[in-house]
Amino acid sequence: MEKKVNLHTRAVHAGDRKQPAKDVPAPVPVTTPIYTAASYFYDDIENLDRVFDNLIPGQSYARYGNPTTGALEELVADLEGGAGSLACASGMAAIHIAISTALLDRRKSIVAGNLLYGATLAMLMKVFEPAGVDVTFVDFCDEAAVRKAIEEKKPGAIVMETICNPLLRVPALDRIGEMAREAGAALIVDNTFATPLILRPMEYGATFVVHSLTKYLAGHGDIIGGIVVANEPDLAALRAFQRTVGFVLSPFDSYLAMRGIKTFPLRMERQCASAQKIAAWLNRHPNVERVYFPEDPNHPDAAAIQRLFPNGLYGGLVAFEIKGADRQRVFQVMNALRLVVPATSLADVHSLLLYPAMASHRDIAPKHRARLGIHDNLVRLSAGIEAPEDIIADLDQALLSWCPAL
C-alpha cells in the first residue's frame, strides 16, 4: 500500500487480502485467517530447501514465520514506516530482542533513560549488566546530560521511550536521534505510549521501534504480545536472532492484534480527547495535589512536545498525585472505583487506574522511585473509550471517599 494513504486507512487494510499466485484462480479471504500449522511441506523438497535459503518466499517452520503473524508484521511496519517488523511473545521480549540484536555488532554499552517502564529498568540492571554490558542511566529530558553520556560512554545502543512511564515526560526525540547518528549508536525507542498516530520514531533516526502490542495497538486487554520495527539491514539481523531464541507470537494472538489495530486510530483519538478533559478536571479537584499531562503549557518538556506532537494529540494517559495520601489511602481510593478498573495495564477500551509503586515500578527500590519523582501518592490513569463524563464522575466519587485534612 502506498505510503501517501492516510494512517487510518492503512490501519484497516495493510497486510490483509493476500493475492493468490499469478494465473491460479483462488478465493481471497477478506481478513487474514489464523494459520496454526507448526511446519509446512511442498510438492518438491527442493522448494522447501529454497525457502530455507530465502531464495523464494514461503513458509517452512512456525518459529521462522507464520502467515497470520506475517500479515500483522506487515501492518505494523507500514504504520511505523519501517522495512519490516518482528512480532514477539511480549513487549518485554520485543525490548530484549531489539537490544540484543543492536549489540551483536556494536560496543557492549548502553545509555538509557532513567525514567523507563520498571521492567525495562530491571532488565537492563538484572539481565544486561550481569551479562557484561555497561549500562548508564541518564535523564533523557536533559539534552546536555544525554550528549555528555554518549560522548563519554560511546554506547552501542541508546534506549528511550517517546512518552516516559509513569510521569509522562517527553524527551527530545529529534535531537537524540541526531546524537545517535553522530555516535553511530543504535537508537531503540519504545513507542507504546505515543503510538504511530502521534509519533513515528523512524522519521527521527530510530534503529528499532518497539511496542507492547498488548496496549494501544491491540487495545482490548485480551493478548500479551510485542513487536519490533526495523529497516534493512537491521531487519535481517533481527529475524536471524529470532530464529535462534524463538520469542514468537502465537497465530491466535497475531490475529487478535491485527483485528484490534483496525480500530486503533479511532480508539486512540477518543482516548486522547478524553484524557485532555480528565486532566483539566483533575487540575481543579481539591483532593489532587499535582497532575502530569503533556498538554500542560507548564510541562517541563513543552518545547519538545510542541515540536513533535500533532495538535490536540497528547496521549491517553494522565498521572496524578492524590493529596496527602499514603499507600493505604491510595488503596482506599482504588477500592472505591465503580467504573474505572484498578488493574495492571493500560490502553484497553475500558479505563484503568494503576498504582506504579505497587505494579509497574514495584521492583524499583522506594528510595530510587522517590529520586525519580515517583511518589507513593502517584497513580496513573489510562482513559478508555467510555463517555469522559462517566470516567470523571467515578474518579470524583472515589477521590471523595477519602478526604485528607485541609
Residues marked as catalytic = 63, 117, 190, 215
> How many residues are present in the chain?
406
157: nearest Cα among 141, 172, 179, 142: 179
d(CA 81, CA 84): 9
Q: How many CB atoms neighbour CB 191 within 10 A?
A: 26
Q: Say if residue 233 is preceded by a cis peptide, omega within 30 of 0.
A: yes
* Residue 34, CB-side half-sphere exposure with 13 Å CA sphere: 12
214: nearest Cα among 205, 204, 223: 223
319: nearest Cα among 266, 374, 362: 374
Contacts 24+ apart (CB under 8 A), 142-148: 143/172, 143/175, 143/176, 146/111, 146/171, 146/176, 146/179, 147/179
User: Which of 272-304 are b and which e, b meaning 16 or more Cβ less than 10 Å from the residue's Cβ?
Assistant: bbbbbebbebbeebebbeebbbbbbeebebeeb
* Sign of the CA dihedral with 169 first, then 173, 174, and 177 last: positive
CA-CA distances (angstroms) from residue 23 to 26, 138, 166? Answer: 9, 58, 54
Helix (H) or strand (E) holding 70: helix 67-80
Residue 322's beta-bridge partner residues? 288
| Sheet order of strands, 226-230 included | 84-88, 226-230, 208-212, 186-190, 157-161, 109-113, 134-138
Q: Say if residue 166 is preceded by a cis peptide, omega within 30 of 0.
A: yes
